[in-house]
């Protein structure tokens, strides 16, 4: 029998307990995975759909993409009560007779295939809407000018331009505080849904960074001391990097 | 770094983008702007010489159609020696490849447009 290192993630323990016992009966064991932790397994099982933000969510394709890009050799498997036949899906009401054979035959994440649709709200579509949806109000369209303006401010401060001039020539005409408020609102609307994603810690980090620089925008960006004290440029670059990382999984 | 002011034509439907770029690069660049294709055509007919053209892919707030791709050959026909640099918010590499295939000299993500314009290709004479 092949020796598989198996990890799993679930938002609730009930189904996981059942599947865990079935694996144990065949001499296999698995370990719970903590979002953001290093992946050290051959087989990863996601209990799906996931109960998150008062919705049943199917985030299987986004997890698959995450493994495809970061851990292509892992066999990513969904499991749930949906009646589906798929090389990478375990129907809990119709278990495979031999898990080792099932895992051996499952496709690796790096191969080209789509995850099973377990019937919940499609998280890949939700993520796409977050980054690209809403036309010119997508998070990309909202964040882009904020990032650009703040970097221009940073460049100008470096060149000795008085902050008052930046306030009147750049911040005011471009409605920077209002733009930030729109960004925060849009991010907050989506944020609870991201709790079912493997890169949720990146979104947590974005939230921390964004909240920490809120006072600068609440002061209408008039306070140069807040610009310095809150290290706005560093934090906005961090947010940009984290958003770009997350966008890879769209 | 720059010995004289280069003249740049910005073609973008977002007036705030024009304002930001004009401000950020005011020391070394002179800008003229077009908010739509009609204004772009007027600028091209005016006989003005540009050292660089910044072209957004989408020129209508109510549309996702990337008309900028189709404008690249027109711009290159009117100004064959002027580099056309495509600017967009969409970071997918497809946009850059398609733009260059159609005759653009370079491709910039709008969010990053602070110092990057200085790294765009030099005008060819």
Predicted pLDDT at B90: 82
- From the list A141, A147, A173, the residue facing B19 with the nearest CB is A173
- Flag whether B1 is in a domain: no
In this model, does residue B79 exceed pLDDT 60?
Answer: yes
Category of B47 on φ-ψ map: left (φ > 0), alpha (ψ -120 to 50) or beta: left
Instruction: Identify from B26, B114, B117, B119 which residue to disrupt to test chain A contact, counting A C-beta atoms within 10 A and taking the largest count.
Output: B114
B residues 78-107 closer than 8 Å to A (CB): 89-91
Predicted pLDDT at B62: 75
Instruction: Kindly state the tokens that stand for A238.
Output: 């961090």
Predicted pLDDT at B124: 38
Percent with pLDDT over 70 in chain B: 88
For the segment A46-88, what is each residue's pLDDT rounded down to a tens digit?
999 999 999 999 999 999 999 999 999 999 999 999 999 999 9
Residue B76 phi, psi dihedral angles, 5° rounding: -70, -30
Predicted pLDDT at B89: 85
Predicted pLDDT at A87: 97
Domain span(s) for CATH 1.20.120 in chain A: 125-247
For residue A136, give every residue at least 6 positions away whose Cβ sits within 8 Å of its Cβ, in sequence order, or none: B61
Containing structural domain, residue B17: 6-119
Instruction: Kindly state the tokens that stand for B114.
Output: 């602070």
Q: Catalogue the E-assigned strands of B12-116.
A: 29-34, 52-56, 84-88, 106-109
In this model, does residue A12 exceed pLDDT 80?
Answer: no
- From the list A148, A156, A240, the residue facing B110 with the nearest CB is A148
Q: Which residues from chain A sit within 8 angstroms of residue B112, using beta carbons?
A: 148, 151
Residues A148, B115: C-beta atoms closer than 8 Å:
no
CATH architecture label of A125-247: Up-down Bundle (1.20)
Predicted pLDDT at B2: 54
Any idea what the CATH number is for the domain that residue B41 is in?
3.40.50.2300
ipTM computed for the complex: 0.82
H/E element, A91? strand A89-91
Predicted pLDDT at B98: 93
For the segment B19-78, what is each residue's pLDDT rounded down to a tens digit?
999 999 998 899 999 999 999 999 988 988 999 999 999 888 777 788 999 999 999 998
Q: How many domains does chain B have?
A: 1
3-state DSSP assignment of residue A93: coil
State in Å, rounded, how far the first CA of chain B is from the last one: 19
Instruction: Kindly state the tokens that stand for B70.
Output: 């189709």
Fold adopted by A6-119: Rossmann fold (3.40.50)
Predicted pLDDT at A129: 92
**Band of pLDDT at residue B123, cut at 50, 70 and 90:** very low
- Flag whether B124 is in a domain: no
Domain span(s) for CATH 3.40.50 in chain A: 6-119
Angle at which helices A200-218 and A176-190 cross, to 10°: 150
Predicted pLDDT at A141: 87
- Flag whether B125 is in a domain: no
The structure's pTM equals: 0.88
Residues A152, B112: C-beta atoms closer than 8 Å:
no
State the burial class of residue A164 (Cβ atoms within 10 Å of its Cβ: 0-12, 13-18, 19+). exposed
Q: What is the CA radius of gyration of chain B?
A: 13
How many residue contacts between A and B have a Cβ separation below 8 Å?
48
Number of H helices and E strands in chain B, helices first, is 4, 5
**Band of pLDDT at residue B122, cut at 50, 70 and 90:** very low
- From the list A135, A169, A244, the residue facing B64 with the nearest CB is A135
């Amino acid at each position: 029998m092949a020796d598989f290192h198996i990890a799993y993630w679930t938002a609730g323990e009930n189904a996981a307990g059942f599947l865990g016992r079935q694996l144990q009966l065949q001499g296999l064991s698995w370990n719970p995975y903590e979002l953001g932790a290093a992946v050290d397994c051959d087989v990863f099982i996601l209990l799906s759909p996931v109960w998150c933000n008062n919705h049943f969510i199917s985030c299987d394709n986004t997890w698959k993409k995450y493994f495809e890009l970061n851990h292509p050799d892992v066999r990513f498997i969904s499991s749930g009560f949906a009646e589906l036949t798929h090389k990478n899906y375990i129907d809990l009401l119709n278990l495979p007779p031999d898990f080792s054979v099932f895992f051996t035959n499952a496709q690796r994440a790096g191969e080209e295939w789509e995850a099973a649709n377990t019937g919940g709200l499609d998280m890949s579509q939700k993520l796409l809407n977050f980054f690209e949806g809403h036309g010119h109000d997508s998070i990309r369209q909202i964040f882009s000018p904020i990032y650009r303006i703040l970097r221009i401010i940073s460049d100008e401060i470096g060149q000795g331009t008085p902050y008052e001039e930046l306030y009147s020539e750049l911040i005011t005409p471009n409605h920077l505080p209002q733009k930030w408020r729109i960004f925060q609102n849009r991010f907050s609307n989506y944020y609870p849904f991201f709790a079912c994603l493997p890169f949720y810690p990146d979104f947590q980090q974005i939230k921390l960074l964004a909240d920490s620089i809120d006072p600068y925008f609440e002061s209408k960006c008039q306070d140069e001391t807040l610009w310095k004290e809150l290290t706005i440029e560093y934090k906005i670059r961090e947010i940009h990097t984290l958003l770009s990382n997350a966008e890879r999984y769209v | 770094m720059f010995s004289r002011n280069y003249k740049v034509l910005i073609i973008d439907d977002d007036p705030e983008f024009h304002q930001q770029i004009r401000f950020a690069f005011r020391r070394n660049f002179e800008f003229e702007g077009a908010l739509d294709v009609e204004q772009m055509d007027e600028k091209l007919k005016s006989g003005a010489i540009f050292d660089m053209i910044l072209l957004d892919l989408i020129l209508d707030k109510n549309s996702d159609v990337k008309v900028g791709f189709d404008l690249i050959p027109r711009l290159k026909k009117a100004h064959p020696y002027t580099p056309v640099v495509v600017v967009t918010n969409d970071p997918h590499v497809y946009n850059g490849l398609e733009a260059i295939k159609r005759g653009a000299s370079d491709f910039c993500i709008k969010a990053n447009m602070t110092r990057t314009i200085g790294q765009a290709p030099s005008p060819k004479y």
